[in-house]
Amino acid sequence: MFERYTEKARRVIFFARYEASQFGGPYIETEHLLLGLVREDPSTLERALGGAAAVDQIRQRVEAQTTAHKKVSTSVDMPVSHECMRVLAYAAEEAERLGHKHIGTEHLVLGLLREPGCVAAKVLEALGARLDAVREQISAHGGGADEEANTLRIALPGASSSELVDEALLRFVVSKLSAEARRMVACAVAEAERLGHAEIGAGHLLLGILREESSAAAKLLEANGLGQKRVEAELFREISDSPGAPGES
């Protein structure tokens, strides 16, 4: 479903799912998508709303218009609501309208504004966003959605240049992970969320391995004096200060 989405747009969906779990809702709603945009790409919202001050009001306004329930685990299946599905369809239409190959965060903003009755659109409109104005702005700005969305550039050790790796290959590799390895990856995701980071780095993966205490890898690290507390203490500042790991908004 998200093959045409840029990396940023995919992370917005990831954060939207997380926001839905925090609000305790049974579905990913448009307001959760909007909060995902706030987390992942506030600069796009700043352009749409005319400044950072308006973006800073989004969460408060969403909370004022929604009822929070008991938080649910992020492991619980969280489908996209029908309203949010329409937003995603509108985003795809906007990308095609603008002649963009891929669907980016800017198209998600347009998709939200095209569903005027939803909570997210009401919040955006109350803060000054207008569909036509944002569309013209994105068209003039050029958009960032024509990046190579289905490949990752990886710098290989000893290589003179980075290599493009097809994400389909990466998905195949993930499908071959053992149950233990999958739990490690899930723990790495949890560690990134705990630290308020948008991306999962090598440090998070190491912490994920150590969370799987009965694994051979964790025992090997422990035997060499690299237990959970020591690794977390040594990596926390490094991970938190890294450019790819913004703090919790």
Name the nearest CA neighbour of 114 among 30, 37, 57, 45: 30
Name the nearest CA neighbour of 68 among 99, 29, 14: 29
Q: What is the mean pLDDT of residues 4-18?
A: 90
pLDDT in tens, 120-149: 999 999 999 999 999 998 888 765 554 444
Cβ atoms within 10 A of the Cβ of 74, count? 16
Tell me which amino acid residue 131 is.
L
CATH number belonging to the domain at 177-241, selected among 2.170.190.11, 3.40.630.30, 1.10.1780.10, 3.40.50.880: 1.10.1780.10
Q: What is the mean pLDDT of the chain?
A: 81
Burial (Cβ within 10 Å: 0-12, 13-18, ≥19) of residue 31? buried
The CATH class that applies to domain 7-141 reads: mainly alpha
Burial (Cβ within 10 Å: 0-12, 13-18, ≥19) of residue 166? exposed
CA distances from 228 to 45, 137, 237 (A): 38, 48, 15
Instruction: State the Rg of the chain over Cα.
Output: 20
Could you give the CA distance from residue 198 to residue 8 in angstroms, rounded to a whole number? 10
- Residue/partner pairs of 242-247 with CB below 8 Å, 24 or more apart: 242/201, 244/197, 244/198, 244/199, 244/201, 245/192, 245/195, 245/197, 245/198, 245/199, 245/201, 246/196, 246/197, 246/198, 247/196, 247/197
Q: Is the pTM here over 0.75, yes or no?
A: no
Ramachandran sector of residue 142 (left: φ over 0; alpha: ψ -120 to 50; beta: rest): left
Burial (Cβ within 10 Å: 0-12, 13-18, ≥19) of residue 189? middle
pLDDT in tens, 141-185: 765 554 444 555 555 555 554 455 555 556 666 777 888 888 888
Range list for CATH 1.10.1780.10 in the chain: 7-141, 177-241
- Of the listed ranges 73-77, 81-85, 98-102, 118-122, the least confidently predicted one is 73-77
Give the pLDDT band (50/70/90) at residue 223.
Answer: confident
Give the pLDDT band (50/70/90) at residue 196.
Answer: low
Could you give the CA distance from residue 170 to residue 150 in angstroms, rounded to a whole number? 10
| Residue 79, helix vs strand vs coil | coil
* H-helix or E-strand spanning residue 131: helix 131-141
